[in-house]
Amino acid sequence: MDKNFIDYIRICTRSGHGGPGIKHFERSKHDAKAGPDGGDGGRGGHIILRGNSQLWTLLHLRFYKNVLADNGDRGGKNNRTGADGNDIIIEVPLGTIARDQETGEQEVEILEDGQQVIWIKGGRGGLGNSNFATPTNQVPDHCQPGENGSEGWKTLELKVLADVGLVGFPNAGKSTLLSVITAAKPQIADYAFTTLTPQLGMVEYRNGKSFCIADLPGIIEGASEGKGLGHRFLRHIERNSILLFVIPADSNNHKEEFDILHNELEQYNPEMLQKDFLIAVSKSDMLDDELKEAIGKELPQDVPHYFISSITNNGLIELKDALWEILNKPV
């Protein structure tokens, strides 16, 4: 398990309060009250999210529990506006969603490197008394306080951005497949739930081209209801263009295994069924042609399937070709 993968954090935020405007009158040698010249207060600091393609986790924000932006400065005489409060810029990985914790409402989504969005606006600065001068009131005695910033509990959650998501029961062979076709080094062992957090790897294709594949935590029946790793796992699947169902050759019932996986996705979010599906029958080095034919007849006929072996590399080139073709088909 990668203890450095953090995909959900909760933080208390407060943008800066706006600085107050001031009441001031210009004084000259000949006129003690030559006119109002009270300046406006500065804006309170914003809290800003910025996408960073070099980040893959929210780990760096793990102990960032209170995010408090600076307040704006008060206005000055001679119509001087107070300095704005310093903004806080939070760098986040691509695929990060910001929500209000109380309502669950999505407020910001970061998908591009360098994308910068004001998440929580600072309060506006108050107007100084020079703004309120009129022909009938040339010595206004009024100025405004600054607006308060916004305060509350927020959440940041990460949905992994990958072209292909590996879907399967625990111990289906997903981690082994990822380790063979990418440079990723996921933890591999012969027991359920070895993969507790998403693992990403880049598949080197022909002519220097590549695509991103994610080994996602193993799904179990009832995941859509929160059982096992539940929603935490399913959240990451939402972003994948292709779902590659990995079903081991030694499964007791290949069709039933696919149906359970398919049903969990449908229960969680029916829109997932609009994605492209492929099936990889893993560990197929133990199969002869007769068994492959029997399993092929058992699987859904409308979903392409490939027999692969991460031990002998059989079928991996054909699988990569199929994935590349789907990823690059005309829209």
Does residue 237 surpass a pLDDT of 70?
no
Quick one: average pLDDT of 272-276? 83
Distance in angstroms (rounded) separating the CA atoms of residues 231 and 245: 18
Does residue 190 surpass a pLDDT of 60?
no
Residue written as token pair 């206004």? 140
Angstrom distances, CA of residue 94 to CA of 7, 50, 54: 12, 9, 9
pLDDT for residue 4: 47
Structure pTM? 0.61
pLDDT for residue 193: 35
Quick one: average pLDDT of 152-165? 83
Q: What is the residue-averaged pLDDT of the chain?
A: 82
**Chain segment 287-320, per-residue pLDDT in tens:** 899 999 999 999 999 999 999 998 898 999 999 9
pLDDT for residue 197: 56
**Chain segment 51-80, per-residue pLDDT in tens:** 998 887 787 887 878 999 999 999 999 999
Going by pLDDT thresholds of 50, 70 and 90, the confidence category of residue 213 is confident
Quick one: average pLDDT of 34-59? 89
Q: Which residue has the higher pLDDT, 205 or 98?
A: 98
Does residue 224 surpass a pLDDT of 80?
no
Residue 151 neighbours by CB distance under 10 Å? 12
The class that CATH gives domain 8-158 is mainly beta
Quick one: average pLDDT of 270-281? 86
pLDDT for residue 241: 79
Name the least confident of 44-58, 162-176, 195-209.
195-209
**Chain segment 78-100, per-residue pLDDT in tens:** 999 999 999 999 999 888 989 99
pLDDT for residue 194: 36
**Chain segment 167-181, per-residue pLDDT in tens:** 888 777 777 887 787
β-sheet bridge partners, residue 210: 204
Percentage of residues in the chain having pLDDT higher than 70 = 82
pLDDT for residue 221: 44
Does residue 256 surpass a pLDDT of 80?
yes
- Which amino acid, 233? F
Structure tokens at 100: 């209000």
Task: Identify the three-state secondary structure at position 137.
Answer: strand
For residue 278, give every residue at least 6 positions away whose Cβ sits within 8 Å of its Cβ, in sequence order, or none.
Answer: 242, 243, 244, 245, 303, 304, 305, 306, 319, 322, 323, 326
Structure tokens at 263: 């049903």
DSSP string across 189-231: -SSTT---S-EEEEEE-GGG-EEEEEEPPPP-TTGGGT-TTHH
Quick one: average pLDDT of 108-133? 93
Percentage of residues in the chain having pLDDT higher than 90 = 42
Which numeric CATH code is attached to 164-327?
A: 3.40.50.300
